[in-house]
Amino acid sequence: MSTETPDTDDDAPDPQTRRLQADGAGVAANKAQGADEIEGETLEIKVFRFDPEIADKEEPRFDTFHVPRFEGMTVLDALMDARDRYDPSLTFRHSCRQSVCGSCAMFVNGSQELACRTQVSDLNPPLQIEPLPHRPVVKDLVVDMEHFYDQMRSVEPFFDPDELPGPDQQQLQSPENREKVKMSTRCVWCGACMSSCNIAAGDNQYLGPAALNKAYRFYFDKREGENRQKERLEIIEQEHGVWRCQTQFSCTEVCPKDIPLTEHIQELKREAVKNNLKFW
């Protein structure tokens, strides 16, 4: 095996230049598909900035960027353009760009949105982009999601049947039961619902709409074991569980996957009431 260090190309572009080149290729592809840049038109975006590790950026502020506008432009497109053209230190999360990973949830013009699916043409300019409310800000548009993930894990979001099937058997689900839980399975763990919930903002122990929706998904799945179903109900009917929901519908309104979160929580409440009824 050779131990020689390969020659480096001093003329190789830096990461920002590579991103610009890649974005340029993407814009060219969009134009080929009809997503032409609107000549001479720019989009003004005001972006929340905060960096606790840099002395002159410790105080929160808004920076204004003007980026070229094109047909089909999303909020995420605008942020990426601002970062690559003007300020490489602008920080935000994104990954799939297809509303699947949930990582680009932000507060856009006063509402929780997934930046990758939100069309700028549907918003009133200038765009004001902030991190999700009620979450500690790490830097710029990035918030600490660990508490949200802890709440999701607390409902134990996995199957636990009373008996495991044999190696040649399947755990079949009826079409009717699949239809029952279908919407609840669409959650992408973006945290938008939790951020919009006034109860979660004031009660750090409240499980929150996303976690309760996840509990709904398994509780109403007929393949779940009966013993495990009862244990799951005990988890969600605790003091900081379903009874903390005040049916404000804010979670349902901001859910990017149109999950009827409030309705699911009310169904879990009814199950909890039935579970505690005694006839003797």
pLDDT tens, position by position, for the chain (280 residues)?
Answer: 333 444 445 565 665 566 556 555 544 444 444 455 555 689 999 999 999 988 888 899 999 999 999 999 999 999 999 999 999 999 999 999 999 999 999 999 999 999 999 999 999 989 999 999 999 999 999 999 999 999 999 999 888 777 777 777 788 889 999 999 999 999 999 999 999 999 999 999 999 999 999 999 999 999 888 888 889 999 999 999 999 999 999 999 999 999 999 999 999 999 999 887 766 5
Q: Which helix (H) or strand (E) holds 42?
A: strand 37-49
- Domain ranges, ordered by start, for the chain: 18-143, 146-163+173-276
Rounded to 5 degrees, what angle do the CA atoms 163, 166, 171 make? 65
Round to whole Å and give the CA distance between 44 and 154: 41
CB pairs under 8 A, 24+ apart, for 13-17? Answer: 16/84, 16/88
Pull the structure tokens for residue 56. Answer: 């002159």
146-163+173-276 CATH pick, 1.10.150.120, 2.40.37.10, 1.10.287.980, 1.10.1060.10: 1.10.1060.10
pTM recorded for the entire structure: 0.81
Which CATH homologous superfamily contains domain 18-143? Beta-grasp domain (3.10.20.30)
Round to whole Å and give the CA distance between 93 and 247: 30
Question: What's residue 170's pLDDT?
Answer: 81
Rounded to 5 degrees, what angle do the CA atoms 264, 237, 101 make? 45
147 phi, psi to nearest 5 deg: -60, -40
Pull the structure tokens for residue 250. Answer: 């804010």
22 phi, psi to nearest 5 deg: -65, -40
209: alpha, beta or left? (left if phi > 0; alpha if psi -120 to 50) = alpha
Task: Return the residue matching tokens 């509780």.
Answer: 219
